[in-house]
A and B are shown apart, each in its own frame.
Chain A
Amino acid sequence: MELIKDILYNTDKILKDFYNWAYKLWSSFNLPFFILDIVFYLLITLAVAAFLVFNALFIIYYDRKVAAKFQVRYGPNRVGYKGILQTVADTIKLLIKEDINADKVDKIVFFLAPFLVFIPSFLVFLVIPFGKGLIPADLNIGILYVLAITGLSVLGILSAGWASNNKYSLIGGMRSAAQIISYEIPMVLVILSVLLLSGSLKMGDIINAQSSISKWFIFVQPIGFILFLIAGNAEINRAPFDLPEAESELVSGFITEYSAMKFAFFFLAEYTNLFLTSAIATTLFLGGWQGPFLPPFVWFIIKTYLVITLLMWFRWTFPRIRVDHLMEFSWKYLTPIAFVNLIATAILVKFI
């Protein structure tokens, strides 16, 4: 009983004890220590990968159910209890489908692109604080690492669009790159204003700076939170900003030519990015894993899923905006507001 409570509430201490115990055990065998370290890193990676896959499976089901609620229909309800296994069945279908390569595609880049999109979203999990001490590595440059790595996925999207050798795919890829670069600016400015308050790039320090509910940055930075949600939603190419794959104009954008496993990778990356954006919003604005009574991990998941629900609400409420409006919205409205927000925050931090 005591142990279960400790595992839930003092995860950092338990992990440290476990590591020390393994270290002692290992030294009695007289083997080199780097093998033990590698084993630990592999375990962490496996845990994160398992979480990523199951989480994505659930989010897809959840998204479809939310969509169904908004459109007053049932949604998936055949496989398993209330259709909960629907996404599992879909995944198996995607895995065993034939992998079609169109004739005129650029073979190498066409093959690489899904990985270039997926690997960055996997790498970002390195600095996601799931709970007290439940962070794979609390880097000093935490949030900067997130920005740098998420920027890499544009490369994959552009490559997918170009390698498909298809005008719709190419336009989709180009739109996506333009969109991600444009919305990165307000996003970075908002993150900068949060950093002015926390005084550190480290995820742990950002969470510690929001130690009580009145100090949560959503109350100090309400405009920042809204801007972050809009820009974050645009960065992950979701409606109303899903122009890169606007099905009514571009068939399916940069993923038109992809099928089976490769398509599954794009899909997985999309929903993982949705989770990551919400997780980062939780960390930056909602106090991360902090909360009363429940274990930190549970709080983190609850808050993240609240943000995910909010983003899904956006998706099913707003119509897709036009491509020139999209650019105007970022450069003429979001960026100036973010700048004013940043300067106001700087003045507040300096003089109050």
Chain B
Amino acid sequence: MTSLVFFYIFAVLIVISAIFMVTSRNIYYSALWLALTLFAVAGIFVLLNAYFLAGIQVLIYIGAVVVLTIFVINLTKEIEGKTEKQFNKQTIPALLALLTGIVLVVLAVLKTDWASRIAGWTNYDETAKIGNLLLNDFVIPFEAASVLLLIALIGAIAIVSLDKENK
């Protein structure tokens, strides 16, 4: 009962703050609304008993991603784009992309055999389980992701140092 109430609170919070994030004219406000959206998502994770995921969500998405976004916004001059248009004319492609997304998510939800997936997942040490899954069963995708991040890191450093040499 309580969890249902909290689910609706968080769900409404996610939707409203996401709408404000997109429609706000001031990008600094957008970033703050984004932080609220991500925080509410962490709340949903808590309701699903995924505490570790919630912690990581707050640590990475708000503590790092939003902070870096704001960092960049602080360095930009035009924070409030009063002359910029808020909407463009790409309504039909946007709708198509949205529909594809919805269809994919609904299909994934319907096709998954939830009962067998949840079985044996009561009363476990969630952090240990995630660690085992990441470093045993899914070690290749995990390593691939870290290599991808390393490439991005080296790329950023290379671009910056190239810029310096040219000057």
Contact = CB atoms under 8 A, between A and B. Distances in A.
Interface of A: 34, 106, 108-109, 112, 139-141, 144-145, 147-149, 151-152, 154-155, 158-159, 161-162, 170, 173-174, 177-178, 181, 184, 201
Query: Which of A108, A139, A155, A174 counts the most chain B CB atoms within 10 A?
Result: A155
B63 interface: yes
Contact of A149 (B58, B74, B125): B58
A141 B54 CA distance: 10
Interface string B43-67: 0000000011011101100111011
Interface in B66-94: 66-68, 70-71, 73-75
Nearest to B66: A155
B116 interface: no
Contacts of B55: 141, 144-145, 147-148
A32 to B, nearest CB: 10
A178 B75 CA distance: 13
B39 to A, nearest CB: 8
Nearest to B79: A162
Given A144-B56, A144-B59, A181-B64, A155 B70 contact: yes
Contact of A155 (B2, B54, B67, B75): B67
A177 B71 contact: yes
Given A140-B127, A151-B58, A177 B67 contact: yes
Given A158-B71, A161-B74, A109 B59 contact: no
A233 B7 CA distance: 38
Contacts of A106: 28
A63 B59 CA distance: 31
Closest 8 CB pairs of A and B: A151-B63, A148-B58, A148-B59, A144-B55, A141-B51, A148-B55, A141-B55, A158-B70
Task: Classify the interface of chain B: helix, strand, loop or mixed.
Answer: helix
A181 B69 CA distance: 13
A62 to B, nearest CB: 30
A15 B137 CA distance: 43
Contacts of B71: 158, 174, 177-178
Given A141-B52, A148-B58, A162-B74, A154 B28 contact: no
Nearest to B2: A34
Given A141-B54, A177-B70, 6 more contacts: A140-B126, A147-B59, A149-B58, A155-B35, A159-B32, A174-B75
A201 B127 contact: yes
Interface of B: 2, 28-29, 32, 35, 51-52, 54-56, 58-59, 62-64, 66-68, 70-71, 73-75, 125-127
Nearest to A139: B51
A174 B63 contact: no
Given A140-B51, A149-B58, A201-B127, A162 B70 contact: yes
Contacts of B74: 158, 161-162, 170, 173-174
Given A141-B52, A162-B28, A181-B64, A152 B58 contact: yes
Given A162-B28, A174-B74, A155 B62 contact: yes
A141 B2 CA distance: 22
A152 B63 contact: yes
19 contacts: A140-B51, A141-B51, A141-B52, A141-B55, A147-B59, A148-B55, A148-B59, A151-B58, A151-B62, A152-B58, A158-B70, A158-B71, A159-B70, A161-B74, A162-B70, A162-B74, A170-B74, A177-B67, A181-B67
A126 to B, nearest CB: 12
A162 B28 CA distance: 9
A148 B127 contact: no
A162 B71 CA distance: 10
Contact of A109 (B28, B62, B75, B125): B28
B69 to A, nearest CB: 10
B122 to A, nearest CB: 14
Contacts of B58: 148-149, 151-152
A142 to B, nearest CB: 10
A141 B127 contact: yes
Contacts of A181: 64, 67-68
Contacts of B66: 155
A161 B29 CA distance: 14
B1 to A, nearest CB: 8
Nearest to B28: A162
A169 B75 CA distance: 13
Nearest to A145: B55
Contacts of B35: 155
Nearest to A163: B28
Contacts of A151: 58-59, 62-64, 67
